[in-house]
Structures are given as C-alpha cells and as structure tokens.
C-alpha cells in the first residue's frame, strides 16, 4: 500500500501519516524529518535546505527527489509506505509516477487532509519547540506544565522561524500555487480521497482507515 499525504502545511497530515504507518506496519517517509536531521547535523544539504525553510520557501526539487527515490527503494518499503511532504509539485509527482512505473509500481491512495487557511495560521503560530530534545507543544492544545519550559528536559521553548505567522502565510501562498494542483493530478488518476482535517485527529484517522480498509 503506497500512500501520498496531501494537505497544506499544518493540516495535520504528518500526525496522520505516523498513525497510518503504525497501524499498517509500513514506513513513514517524511522529507521534513530527513531535512531536519541534516540541519541538526550541519550537513551541506541541511544548510541549503534551512536557507529555504527559514524564508518559508519550498526546498528545490533536485534536493528532494535525490533523497526520496533512494529511500523508497530500500527493503523496508517493499510492502508500502506513507509519503509525507513529497511530492509537493506536479513535476515531482510526475517524476515519482515515472520512477514507480519503471518499478512496476504506483501510488494506491492520495489522501488530502482539508483544513482552511485561517485554522492553519492559528495552529502553527501557537506551536512551540524544544531545540534540545525535539519535544513540541502548542500554547492552546498541548501546553507545557510551566509556560515556555519543556516538560521533558527543562530547556526553553521557542517559536521556530517556520511557524511564525508571516512565514506560515507565505508557506500557504506557495502551497496554493505549487502544491494544490496535485489534488487534480491524483484525482485524474482515480486515487484521490479527501477527509475533513478540522475535526479531532482521532476522527480524521477513523475517516482515513475507513478509506484504506
């Protein structure tokens, strides 16, 4: 079962991708995680990716495609995987489609988690992260016990550059221009499924498992 997660930044598709991966015992392949690991380790790829992320821009195709195709060719992906954060553009989707066709494979489901922009701005600008241990919080939904302090390691929590309101709005504008056309792309292939991402995450997951079976 090969699944692509669609939806705007902050729609919750990453959370759903992890839950799908756990339930169906397939890898959760997140380009965001790959990039963050590179950024944390200070690699050249990480530095380049961070320069785009900090401005709220998408990482260029050539950086992303190189990592992704190698990842899905690994043994643990042979029974399927959940792609989270890729493809982001029609050219990426076409490359992925062509490479999978060469392998005698295809995407089975493209799940779009639908959330209005104003909800996303509220969600993301309320996020706080611990740069030391990686724990994440939300000032409304998952607040730390002590304001501004990580429950797990006691370090200071920060609002990451890519969660600031202006950056989020910029990312949404880029999403609508570059990524939203993927909904039509996968709809034409007959694999698009849409779920309401404004409800509780458990209800979103129930809708998704109803689709996947």
Rounded to whole angstroms, how far apart are CA atoms 148 and 39?
23
pLDDT cut 70: percent of the chain above it: 100
Active site residues: 13, 88, 127, 160, 171
The CATH superfamily holding the domain 2-116+164-212 is P-loop containing nucleotide triphosphate hydrolases (3.40.50.300)
Rounded to whole angstroms, how far apart are CA atoms 81 and 106?
12
Please tell me the predicted confidence (pLDDT) of residue 107: 96
Confidence of residue 193 (pLDDT cuts 50, 70, 90): very high
Q: What is the pLDDT of residues 60-110, one digit of tens each?
A: 887 787 777 777 877 998 899 999 988 988 988 998 898 889 888 899 999
pTM tops 0.85: no
Greater confidence (57 vs 130) lies with 130
What is the residue whose two structure tokens read 């489901």? 109
Is the pLDDT score of 37 beyond 80?
no
Q: What is the pLDDT of residues 131-176, one digit of tens each?
A: 999 999 999 989 999 999 999 999 999 999 989 999 999 999 988 9
Which residues does 86 contact at the CB level (< 8 Å), separation at least 6?
A: 4, 29, 31, 64, 68, 92, 96
CA dihedral defined by 196, 202, 203, 208, rounded to 10 degrees? Answer: 70
Please tell me the predicted confidence (pLDDT) of residue 63: 79
């Amino acid at each position: 079962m090969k699944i692509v997660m669609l939806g705007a930044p902050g729609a919750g598709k990453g959370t759903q991708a992890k839950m799908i991966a756990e339930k169906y015992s397939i890898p959760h392949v997140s380009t965001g995680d790959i990039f963050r690991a590179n950024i944390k380790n200070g690699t050249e790829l990480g530095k380049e990716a961070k320069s785009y992320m900090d401005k709220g821009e998408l990482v260029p195709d050539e950086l992303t495609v190189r990592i992704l195709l190698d990842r899905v060719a690994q043994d643990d992906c042979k029974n399927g995987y959940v792609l989270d954060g890729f493809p982001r553009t029609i050219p990426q989707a076409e490359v992925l489609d062509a490479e999978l066709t060469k392998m005698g494979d295809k995407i089975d489901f493209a799940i779009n988690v639908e959330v209005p922009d104003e909800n996303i701005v509220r969600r993301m600008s309320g996020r706080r992260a611990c740069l030391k241990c990686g724990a994440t919080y939300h000032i409304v939904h998952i607040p730390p016990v002590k304001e501004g302090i990580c429950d797990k390691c006691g370090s200071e929590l920060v609002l990451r550059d890519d969660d600031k309101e202006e950056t989020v709005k910029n990312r949404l504008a880029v999403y609508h221009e570059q990524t939203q056309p993927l909904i039509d792309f996968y709809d034409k292939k007959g694999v698009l499924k849409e779920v309401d991402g404004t409800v509780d995450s458990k209800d979103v997951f129930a809708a998704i498992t109803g689709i996947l079976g």
